Amino acid sequence: MKITVKAVLFLLLLSVCAGAFGACGDGAETTAADDKTDVTVTETETQTETETEAVKERKPVAAVYPENGAEISLLTEEMTKWVKKYKPSKLDKICDFTEKCEPVPVVLSWDNTDGALYHNVFVADNAEMKDAAVYLCNVPSLTLCDLYTGYEYYWQVVSEYEDTTVKSAVFSFKTLASPRTVAIDGVSNARDIGGYKTGDGKQIKRGIVYRGADFERITEAGKNKLVKELGIKTELDLRERTNRGPSPLGDDINYVAVSGPWYDKAFINGYQNDLLNELRVFADADNYPIYFHCSLGRDRTGTLAFLLEALCGVSKDDIYMDYEVSFFSDMSGYDDSTAPSAMVNVLDTFRQTVQNYAKGRSLSEAARAFLLELGMTEAELDAIRANLLEDAR
């Protein structure tokens, strides 16, 4: 009598999945295996001739979604259309106080696996599947959250049957190069500033600097996401310092409070020490990952994001796109009646003033010249760039 070891294993392993690539529940019960382990699939059971013939008749596992090689967006349909046709200062609708910038998860699905007991799904950033995250699924689908934008992913399905193991081809998909928004329960307007390319062949590292609104409505699930999943070590609070701190994320969080300037206030003496203090947070490698915010995550936050991105050499259009994402959030409009395009014009006036510090040169050089005059040192600015930048891939 044949012992159904695979069936027993399947029953033992059912639980909710959470792995290196951010799997999240979609009704299927899944579990993550060791996420940083190379796995070689072998067949350990002796097959009879009849079983071998049955295996030969099985169709290859087929990728249903995403189609192999497809490019997909991690944004809502409305935001995706905006990104693909993006032009600065063309977003004229007023915020309607609904959150429209939360990311869309990717639901991997596959076919031709009827009768399978369960599936091991491997997800990696390389075609060789080295260091793949591994998920155990009892249905032919897997929901992945918090993927990177502008990134290529590879995935493979290994289906376990009573009589054999069937391994799929390696499938791939690309995510649209766009702002990487992040869902944090109780926090509006949150996103990663990473992924943007620079003019010298580099890009801002993903997963180390996040921006957004304050934590006034944050839930325990939101705190858990920031601390345990995103690994936040520093909260940089740009609001007025009155009655601020400690961080609601916990006593272990490095909490830094400054009265952050917005737009042209960055050139006013009363705010310049605070501007220096907030920038120096990014010069210390021990502070990362960092979450910085004001109240809405738009003006004081947007001013700091502008300076960091400009210093790193991000293009003007990408800087403005990152800024305008705020208008898709539920807090971006606050009590304004001003069109988003008018707010971008305010940012553009700030950019032009910064550009005057190095006329005829790049925005990156101009931002560096401004920050040096402000009181930053060459070593501090080099440290910020070293902490934020990596070679583009």
Q: What is the pLDDT of residues 30-45, one digit of tens each?
A: 444 443 333 333 333 3
Predicted pLDDT of residue 304: 98
Predicted pLDDT of residue 89: 80
Q: Taking all residues of the chain, what is their mean pLDDT, rounded to a whole number?
A: 86
Q: Is the pLDDT of residue 380 over 60?
A: yes
Residues 6 or more apart whose CB falls under 8 angstroms from that of 315 comprise 196, 197, 199
Predicted pLDDT of residue 92: 74
Predicted pLDDT of residue 57: 65
Predicted pLDDT of residue 47: 40
Q: Distance between CA 192 and CA 281 in Å, rounded?
A: 17
| Mean pLDDT calculated for residue range 282-290 | 98
| Mean pLDDT calculated for residue range 326-330 | 88
| Mean pLDDT calculated for residue range 84-103 | 81
Range of lowest pLDDT (65-79, 183-197, 324-338, 367-381): 324-338
Number of alpha helices (DSSP H) and beta strands (DSSP E) in the chain: 10, 18
| Mean pLDDT calculated for residue range 71-93 | 90
- Read off the pLDDT of residues 250-282 as tens digits, 9 standing for 90 and up: 999 999 999 999 999 999 988 999 999 999 999
* H or E segment to which residue 367 belongs: helix 363-374
The domain made up of 180-391 has a fold known as Protein-Tyrosine Phosphatase; Chain A (3.90.190)
Predicted pLDDT of residue 94: 60
% pLDDT > 90, the chain:
73
For the chain, the domains span 5-75+104-175, 180-391
Q: Is the pLDDT of residue 345 over 50?
A: yes
Higher pLDDT, 335 or 307: 307
Domain 5-75+104-175: give its CATH superfamily: Immunoglobulins (2.60.40.10)
Predicted pLDDT of residue 383: 98
Residue (of 63, 18, 39, 20) closest to 172 by Cα position: 63
Residues 6 or more apart whose CB falls under 8 angstroms from that of 361 comprise none
390-393 long-range contacts (CB < 8 A, ≥24 apart) are: 390/202, 390/203, 390/205, 391/201, 391/202, 391/203, 392/197, 392/198, 392/201, 392/202, 392/203, 393/203
Task: Record the pTM.
Answer: 0.87
Predicted pLDDT of residue 340: 84
Predicted pLDDT of residue 334: 52
* H or E segment to which residue 158 belongs: strand 152-160
- The 3-state DSSP class for residue 136 equals strand
- Read off the pLDDT of residues 213-238 as tens digits, 9 standing for 90 and up: 999 999 999 999 999 999 999 999 99
Instruction: Please report, for residues 86, 181, 191, 219, 285, the alpha-carbon distance to residue 99 in angstroms, rounded to integers and kept in the order given.
Output: 20, 11, 13, 16, 32
Predicted pLDDT of residue 39: 36
- Read off the pLDDT of residues 350-360 as tens digits, 9 standing for 90 and up: 999 999 999 99
* H or E segment to which residue 57 belongs: helix 49-57
- Read off the pLDDT of residues 149-197 as tens digits, 9 standing for 90 and up: 999 999 999 999 998 999 999 999 999 999 999 999 999 999 999 999 9
Predicted pLDDT of residue 282: 98
Predicted pLDDT of residue 356: 97
